[in-house]
Amino acid sequence: MQWPPGGGNQKEMIMDAELPTYDDQARLWNGRAAQAWIAQQPLLDRVFEPMQDLLTAEVVERRGRQVLDVGCGPGTTTLAVARRLAPGGRCVGIDISAPMIEFARERAANDGAPVSFICADAQTYAFEAASFDTIMSRFGVMFFGDSVAAFANLRRAAREDAALRFIAWRSPEENPFMTTAQRAAAPLLSYVPARRPDGPGQFAFADRGRVSRILEASGWADIDVRAIDIPCTFPEPDLLSYITRLGPVGLVLQDADEQLRAKVIQTIRPAFEPFVHGGDVRFTAACWMVSARAPSASGSSVET
């Protein structure tokens, strides 16, 4: 079966469901998932602003001047960091999604910040060797087909003693808001693929030990994987579009007939009531803040 669903009747999708692969991720982020993300960009920027602020503070504190943003999407964090680097610094964003890179470039053209964007796979892209003193990512590094190869490629792009900083999701069990729609819709949408703990996907880095092993195997040093819990909020009127446009359920609903769509919405919306507080939706994002360093030739460390 093609993922995300793009053809065939619902009975066929139920019978033939498969787990998404790395190639599926590339199709996903160059198709309707990208368009949905772009359409919801103002809302997503608000939801993930606390993570953006954390990363920006890390980069600025280290005084990085040449920064790479991996899995930059529509460029929100890339632009935020670039503004803080000016004058004299530059931030480059890379993403596999052509629609989101095009959108990011349009935003950058109206911004004037020292920023540029590359539409490519960071796992295999031929970066100029030793060209960045900071590499960062906000939820953009969990989708590689071969994470060790990807971080080794990023290591080659890093200068000696360059910093790696990224935020990734912890486990789905620790992030009930992110899995509520799929759990609530499961009796109605049995063809939504199950999340696979070893990825690629949103929770591919849920295992702290796996993250450390990947970074060690790809040549990074001074690895620290720290649990952080980040309060997030957005207006309650935006909840319905959030849960029906984004994530696995949102993608399936794009292909559902009106009767099934209405039934799914009627089922999943009440499941989010524990997160609704007056006019706001509030939840805690359970994440890892990961830091590492590209070792120098001598193997000595420098303070970051």
Residue 180 sits in which domain range? 10-293
289 in any annotated domain: yes
- DSSP state for residue 127 in the 8-state scheme: P
Least confident of 67-76, 163-172, 246-255, 262-271: 246-255
- Pairing mode, strands 158-169 and 280-293: antiparallel
- DSSP state for residue 128 in the 8-state scheme: P
pLDDT of residue 253: 84
Give the length of the chain.
304
CATH number of domain containing 251: 3.40.50.150
Say yes or no to pLDDT of 286 above 60: yes
302 in any annotated domain: no
pLDDT of residue 88: 84
281 in any annotated domain: yes
Overall number of domains in the chain = 1
pLDDT in tens, 100-135: 999 999 999 988 889 999 999 999 999 999 999 999
pLDDT of residue 101: 97
Query: Of 91, 105, 101, 98, nearest to 55 (Cα)?
Result: 91
- DSSP state for residue 270 in the 8-state scheme: G
Query: Of 5, 23, 14, nearest to 186 (Cα)?
Result: 14
Confidence of residue 193 (pLDDT cuts 50, 70, 90): low
195/182 Cα distance (integer angstroms): 10
pLDDT of residue 226: 97
304 in any annotated domain: no
4 in any annotated domain: no
223 in any annotated domain: yes
Confidence of residue 192 (pLDDT cuts 50, 70, 90): low
Say yes or no to pLDDT of 161 above 50: yes
pLDDT of residue 22: 53
299 in any annotated domain: no
